[in-house]
Structure 1
Amino acid sequence: MAISDVFTETFRDEHREVRNLLFTLIDAFTAHDATTARHVVSAIATATGPHFRYEEESMYPRLVPIFGEEYVGKLIADHDGAIRNLRELVELADHGQIDQAQAERGIELTRQILPHVSDCDGLSIMVETLPQDDVLDILAVREAALEKNVDLLTWAGSVRARRA
């Protein structure tokens, strides 16, 4: 299997995981289930921390020659929005009970993240055009991010150079 195929499969699996977690979170807010919402928000933060990190530290810079600074800036701004949304989702899910207004807000915030998940997944067809050494480096940075295992909100608040 070519290294770009390994990347594409890995990248797609990560996006599927996040997509499924977001759908589960919508279900939890729909059911006013604070316990499930708390667990799912935590799972999203755990899954997206290393993912956002390797995208921003290794993959996105390599996509600038393809897309230009403006579009890559939009991808990073999408991360900013997802981070802000996740912070608010933590607060909403942290209540003992979720009322109707909180449920509606939780669903809205979660749906705002979904387009980035689907849009970002398509970047793999651009990554496959990169030199093999670049793809290997992206995968190596991914492995390092996974080893450090810093959740999204911790990474965004203490490691990430850009503040959301």
Structure 2
Amino acid sequence: MNTTSFKTYSAKPGDVEQAWHVVDAENVVVGRLAARVATILRGKDKPEYTPHMDVGDYVVVVNADKVRFTGKKETDKKYFRHSGYPGGIRERTPKEVRATHPERIIEAAVKGMLPRTKLGRQLYKKLHVYAGPDHPHEAQQPQTLTID
């Protein structure tokens, strides 16, 4: 009987190289953008992906105010939050959120696709979203990514 054993690779903290990526969100559907960004933040697009380690890259999203929804989600979708007091639930549509804080649309979508653990909170900190085309991360020499 041939008992060839293969070793499962597990990334070590010293092995991880984290790059920076810039994504232009102009005319990109929110869910497709968030799914791609969450994959990059987790590192699932890398061969050295390890579920319990932060092997993902940093992501900078620009033009968040020009992101697109399909169908009637712009007016029908609701974002909820609660103050913790009885009757303290608040709801807003994407149209209302876009008027004041457009970056929160993408942040909420990506956060919903990350794990609800300590690692997920750590990964979320590597996401940087800006409403306009400018960002302060030029020193990191980010690579441009296109989302289809």
TM-score w.r.t. the length of structure 1 is: 0.27
Rg larger for: 2
Bigger relative contact order (CA 8 A; separation at least 6) = 1
**Structure with the higher fraction of residues in helix conformation:** 1
TM-score w.r.t. the length of structure 2 is: 0.29
**Structure with the higher fraction of residues in strand conformation:** 2
